[in-house]
Amino acid sequence: MQNRLLRILFIVYLLEAGAFLTMSPWSRFWQHRIAGQAPEFWASLLMSPFVRGFVSGVGLLHLMVAIRDLELWRREASRPDPLPFPQEREP
The residue segments making up the domain with residue 49 are: 2-78
What is the distance in angstroms between the CA of the first residue and the CA of the last residue of the chain?
Answer: 40
Query: Which tops the pLDDT comparison, 78 or 55?
Result: 55
Number of domains comprising the chain: 1
Number of residues that this document lists for the chain: 91
The predicted-structure confidence for 54-67, as pLDDT tens digits, reads as follows: 999 999 999 999 99
Q: Is residue 44 part of a domain?
A: yes
CA distances from 8 to 13, 44, 59, 77, 81 (A): 9, 38, 18, 13, 21
The predicted-structure confidence for 8-38, as pLDDT tens digits, reads as follows: 999 999 999 999 999 999 999 999 998 989 9
Instruction: Quickly state the pLDDT bin for 85 (edges 50, 70, 90).
Output: low
Q: Is residue 62 part of a domain?
A: yes
CA distance 9 to 17: 12
Q: Is residue 91 part of a domain?
A: no
Q: Is residue 88 part of a domain?
A: no
Q: Is residue 37 part of a domain?
A: yes
